[in-house]
Structure 1
Amino acid sequence: MLMTIAGVLSPAECEEIRAMLGSMRFEDGRATAGWSAKLVKDNDQAREGAALSLLRERVAKAIMGNEVFSLAARPKALTPLIFARYGAGKEYGSHVDNPLMHGIRTDVSFTLFLADPDSYDGGELVIESAAGEEEVKLPAGHLVVYDSTSLHRVAPVTRGERLVAVGWAQSYVRDSAKRELLFDLETAKRGLFAQSGKTPEFDLVAKAGANLFRMWAEV
């Protein structure tokens, strides 16, 4: 399931985070890539340290606290976030994410955009599928969530600087189609409640959603 989520961070928060990253040291992003991804990865990533740890904690808390993300991804755990910078000429060629990172199975990938899209050209996240390609370039503070099983790439940046936080979630529900079904049921349940309150129909949809989650959850 491909989903965009608005307002995970406010404009003011994004500005503050950009300032924090501006004072950090960056290193070659290939250090965290798999052996084949190293061949096509060309970006810089914030170097490990106390400041990065604090920033990771802050941004991860905002992501995990976002209700839409929680319902879409059903996250059990997140990998440590990577803060990546793409200057002019930088890109990340087509690749699939590692299935395990830091002992966590990667079911769901996400990118949180931190730079104003008008401040750079190119840099679209391109997600590939049998139906074609989906290009994603979002306002600062917005998040895109997609299946970690997909091939994807970052188009070359031709002007300015692309700045993002990327990460991966292990889901309580491994299968993408099941996660989407649960999300649809939750959306329908909330719509029924908004229209008519707690009715017998609402209770049945709530029961179905809860019991499917119970059936599919891996704890």
Structure 2
Amino acid sequence: MLLILPNLLDNSELSQARALLATAPWADGRIGAGSQAVQAKNNEQLPPACEEARAIGALVLRALDRSPQFLAAALPRKVFPPRINRYGGGTNYYGKHVDGAIRFAEGGLRVRTDISCTVFLSDPDDYDGGELTVYESGSARQIKLPAGHAVLYSASHVHEVTPVTRGARLAAFFWIESMVRDDAQRRLLHEFDMALTSLRETAGESEATVTLVGTYHNLLRMWADA
């Protein structure tokens, strides 16, 4: 499943993030990368413990908490603390790779990477190139969204960030461990939830919608690991 979350961050939050990024202490993005990633990765990241990274990460986490679309699609159990990266100049790409299955964060947090998320902090007009390209079922989908928009996609897919040839591409990125491990099951539940919500809005509550709500929750109960 690949899903766009429009306007996850509002204008006020984007302004706060950009003010923090103006004085951010960038470091080599390959620090801490795995053996495959370190060969493909050529970007910069904020040190996770720095004040700017923590503040922007907190903005993103608050935005996720208020997003019904994120909660319905991801069914989150754990969220890895957001990281911040930059592509531009001589550090401008991340070649084809698959995200590691388990990520380790401060305090002993371990997150199974079911879903990857990128939150764009730069507008498309600010840079050339830098498309997030996700390879799925023999096709390639290129994603380059307005600042504040986010994209969710399965962490099991090969993906890359193409070279940035002008300007700088800034984004937050992180992973979600879902209560529902299987991507196909999550997709079915999300489609069920969206269709049921639309039905209730147009037809109101009825015996049929009550039954369908029960079916959704019974499927979730069957598949979820809370």
In which range does the TM-score fall when normalised by the shorter chain?
over 0.9
Post-superposition Cα deviations, 1:78-120, rounded to whole Å, max 9, x if no partner, equal 1111100011341000000010002110000000001011010
Following superposition, the deviation at residue 56 of structure 1 comes to 1.4
1:202 alignment counterpart: 209
Following superposition, the deviation at residue 165 of structure 1 comes to 0.2
| Amino acid in the other structure paired with 1:46 | L
CA distance in structure 1 between the aligned counterparts of 2:125 and 2:58, rounded to whole angstroms = 28
Unaligned runs of 5+ in 2: 105-109
1:63-212 matches, within 5 Å, as 63-89=64-90, 90-102=92-104, 103-212=110-219
Q: Are 2:122 and 2:171, in contact at CA under 8 Å, matched by a contact in 1?
A: yes
Following superposition, the deviation at residue 129 of structure 1 comes to 2.1
2:107 alignment counterpart: none
Post-superposition Cα deviations, 1:58-94, rounded to whole Å, max 9, x if no partner, equal 2112123211011111011111111000113410000
1:55 alignment counterpart: 56
1:36 alignment counterpart: 36
Higher mean alpha-carbon deviation, 48-57 vs 177-186, is at 48-57
| Amino acid in the other structure paired with 1:4 | I
Which 4+ runs in 1 deviate beyond 4 A?
none
CA distance in structure 1 between the aligned counterparts of 2:138 and 2:44, rounded to whole angstroms = 31
Q: Are 1:84 and 1:163, in contact at CA under 8 Å, matched by a contact in 2?
A: yes
Q: Are 2:101 and 2:113, in contact at CA under 8 Å, matched by a contact in 1?
A: yes
- Pair 1:32–1:60, CA change in 2 (3 A): farther
Following superposition, the deviation at residue 204 of structure 1 comes to 1.7
TM-score (norm 1): 0.96
Q: Are 1:123 and 1:162, in contact at CA under 8 Å, matched by a contact in 2?
A: yes
CA distance in structure 2 between the aligned counterparts of 1:29 and 1:65, rounded to whole angstroms = 30
Taking only the aligned residue pairs, the percentage that are identical comes to 38
CA distance in structure 2 between the aligned counterparts of 1:133 and 1:183, rounded to whole angstroms = 23
CA distance in structure 1 between the aligned counterparts of 2:35 and 2:22, rounded to whole angstroms = 29
Unaligned runs of 5+ in 1: none
